[in-house]
Chain A
Amino acid sequence: MRSNLIQVSELSHNYACGRSALKSLNLVANDGERIGIVGPNGAGKTTLFLKLCGVIPSRLGQIQIAGLDPADSDQRRQLPNFVGVVFQNPDDQLFGSCLLDDVAFGPLNQGLSAKDAAVRAEDALVVVGLAGFGDRVPHKLSGGEKRRAALAGVLAMRPEILLLDEPTVFLDPRGRREFITLLNQLSGTILIATHDLGLVAETCSRAMVLDNGQISFDGSVSELFNDPERLTAHGLELPSLPALRPESFMRPLAQVR
């Protein structure tokens, strides 16, 4: 297990309008960890992910992710081999004209032959439960299928780190359940930005509260869920399902279903 797989130091970001999205943020994540980054809308979760994957430029030395610095253009080019991002809106990510082409897009960019890329894409579609969907066009998929297809596109690149931005938003209960089951089957380091605390409870062992561009809490999920005042202070709320009562989180996460 590699420690400090992701290391962020004093990371700040201001939008053109002058609003601060991130304020001197520090973060460390180790290999194999599953971290839920929770916070209200506009807290800076998406900005943090865009910084981590190099879409929004950062300064040299602020971010080290899988041993690479996104601020360095050569290292940034290698990032997609190690870091996969699933964006909030799957329609932003499904740009291929059919699903197989779309999922194979990343492996082809990694330099794989068309044959190997197709095999990788088909494997990834099987993993996300979309076997046989290769010929389907993205705009004819349901919301849940689109979400899983977007994840397949990233998984086909076999990244070490997965960044999932609001992965359950717009999903119906069944789609959400299927997606959570799928996430629990994946290995590797996973960071999930969400305000779906039920999702965090079922998939993560560690939670961070990001509000107003700063991390105000970093600890175990059970610790966070046993502190309703903290949640309320950051505009968060425990799900009201009986299975997600605070005492449920005292049990190991694998039993929380």
Chain B
Amino acid sequence: MTLALRDPDTPDSPLARWDPRWKLAGVVVAVLAIAMLETIAASAVAAVAAFGVVLLARMPVSAIFGRIGLLLLAVIPVFCVVPLTQPASDAGWDLGFLRVSIPGLLAAGAVGFRVLGIGLWGLMLMRSGAFPHTLAAAHALFVPGVLVQIAQLAHRYTFLFTAEARRTRIALRTRAFRAKTDRHSYRTLSHATGGLLVRSADRAENVSAAMRCRGFRGEYRTLATFQTTANDVLGFAAVAVGAVALVVVDRVGGP
């Protein structure tokens, strides 16, 4: 396992050319709509649509499936628990003293598809444009500048933090340290983690001083400029109409 992080390049695609403000607004609408779905059928449709959107962003297929794998890993606990927590009167199968409910399985499936759908929309947002531009778009959509600034700094310094963590790990290894399940390992790792956090806090102070020395007074400012075209609006309208239609169908044909 490596701690290396990489800021991926943005492939050219219709979604990369979409005005980040309209794209962000479209993603918010889509995510809200997916979160409101109840049936497994509508959730599955939403997940498939999200997959189509990610393909439209021209991301490498291996990267898409890698992220899907991570998202599915995250919903495993839902599949393990929800089918076992439904009323005993529900249709299902008895496995010893456990009863696996079919409505429970369907509910877990719906959650899984919703997670997949929301995750894929998020993935598209992250990979179809430069992150700082997306943040600038968020600011243009009235997200408070302080939050945007914090997100931007977190993005920048995550890479530095991981590089520092990597150096610490190498330093430990060069001094013959191998992590085991013993007291010495736990103590060493906690010291190394503590050192990293202290250095991060120190760096945060230094960054704050450097920002103030360059005239920062808490206001977020950016070089990013945006221009809306008819296609940007049409793209947003298509997402919004699709989202509303899916929610309506879900509610009308619900359980």
Interface residues of A (CB under 8 A from B): 50, 53-55, 77, 79-81, 83-85, 87, 89, 91-98, 100-101, 104-106, 108-110, 114, 117-118, 121, 137-139, 153-154, 157
Bound: A98/B7 CA distance, A: 11
Q: Specify the chain A residue showing the minimal Cβ separation from B131.
A: A97
CA distance A197 to B133 in the complex (A): 44
B132 within 8 A of A: yes
Within the assembled complex, what's the spacing in Å between the Cα atoms of A101 and B156? 12
Contact status A139-B160, CB under 8 Å: yes
Q: Give the contacting residue for B156; candidates A106, A121, A138; CB below 8 A.
A: A138
Contact B163 A139 (CB under 8 A): yes
Contact, CB under 8 Å: B207 / A92 = yes
Q: Which residues of chain A have C-beta atoms less than 8 A from B206's C-beta?
A: 87, 89, 92
B159, B215, B222: the one within 8 Å of A80 (CB): B215
Chain A interface, >50% SS class: helix
A121 CB contacts on chain B under 8 angstroms:
223
- Give which listed residue, A91, A98, A138, A153, contacts B214 with CB less than 8 A: A153
Query: Interface 1/0s, chain B 194-223, versus A by CB < 8 A?
Result: 000000000100110111111111010111
Query: Which of chain B's residues have a CB closer than 8 A to the CB of A81?
Result: 215
Residue contact A101 to B132, C-beta cutoff 8 Å:
yes
* B153 neighbours in A (Cβ, 8 Å): 95
Chain B residues in 8 Å Cβ range of A79: 213
Q: A104 near B223 (CB under 8 angstroms)?
A: yes
- Any A CB within 8 A of the CB of B29: no
Known: A87-B206, A101-B222, A139-B159. A109 touches B216 (CB 8 A): yes
- Sample (18) of A-B pairs whose CB atoms are under 8 Å apart: A50-B209, A84-B213, A85-B210, A87-B206, A91-B160, A95-B153, A95-B156, A96-B132, A97-B130, A97-B131, A97-B132, A97-B152, A98-B132, A101-B222, A105-B216, A105-B221, A138-B156, A157-B215
**A150: nearest chain-B partner, CB-CB:** B210
Complex contact B223–A117 (CB within 8 A): yes
> Judging by beta carbons under 8 Å apart, are B217 and A55 in contact?
no
Residue from A95, A118, A138, A157 within 8 A of B210 (CB atoms): A95
> How far does the alpha carbon of A105 sit from the alpha carbon of B222 in the complex, in Å?
8
Cβ of B251 under 8 Å from chain A: no
Instruction: Using CB atoms, name the residue of chain A closest to B164.
Output: A91
Q: Is the CB of A55 within 8 A of B212?
A: yes
Q: Could you tell me if B132 and A92 are in contact, using CB atoms closer than 8 angstroms?
A: no
B204 to chain A, nearest CB (A): 9
Q: What is the CB-to-nearest-CB distance from B221 to chain A, in angstroms, rounded to a whole number?
A: 4
Tell me the smallest distance from the CB of B213 to a CB of chain A, in Å: 5
Answer whether residue B155 sits at the interface, using C-beta atoms and an 8 A cutoff: yes
Q: Name B residues whose Cβ lies closer than 8 Å to a Cβ of A.
A: 7, 130-132, 152-153, 155-157, 159-160, 163, 203, 206-207, 209-217, 219, 221-225
Structural contact, B217 and A100, CB atoms closer than 8 A:
no
A85, B209: Cα distance in complex, Å: 10
Return chain A residues, CB-CB under 8 Å to B219.
109
Q: Are B215 and A106 in contact (CB under 8 A)?
A: yes
Q: Are B210 and A92 in contact (CB under 8 A)?
A: yes
B residues less than 8 Å from A97 (CB atoms): 130-132, 152, 155-156
Q: Knowing A97-B130, A101-B132, A139-B160, say if A80 contacts B214 (CB, 8 Å).
A: yes
* Chain B min CB distance to A170 (Å): 14
A87-B206, A114-B222 known; A137 and B7 CB under 8 Å? yes
A85 and B152: CB pair below 8 A? Answer: no
Partner of B223, one of A109, A118, A157: A118
Q: Give the 7 A-B residue pairs with the shortest CB-CB distance, closest first.
A: A109-B215, A92-B206, A80-B215, A108-B221, A97-B132, A106-B214, A55-B209
Residue of A50, A80, A100, A154 ringed by the most chain B CB atoms within 10 A: A80
* Complex contacts, A77 vs chain B, CB 8 Å: 217
Known: A80-B212, A93-B210, A109-B216. 18 other contacts (CB 8 A): A55-B209, A79-B213, A81-B215, A83-B213, A84-B213, A92-B206, A92-B207, A92-B210, A95-B153, A95-B156, A95-B210, A96-B152, A97-B155, A100-B223, A104-B223, A105-B211, A109-B215, A109-B219
The docked-state distance in angstroms from the alpha carbon of A121 to that of B223 is 10
Q: How far is the CB of A69 from chain B (nearest CB, A)?
A: 16
- Report chain B residues within 8 Å CB of A98: 130, 132
Find chain B residues with CB under 8 A from A92 CB: 203, 206-207, 209-210
| Bound CA–CA A183/B160 (angstroms) | 28
With both beta carbons as reference points, the residue of chain B lying nearest to A50 in the complex is identified as: B209
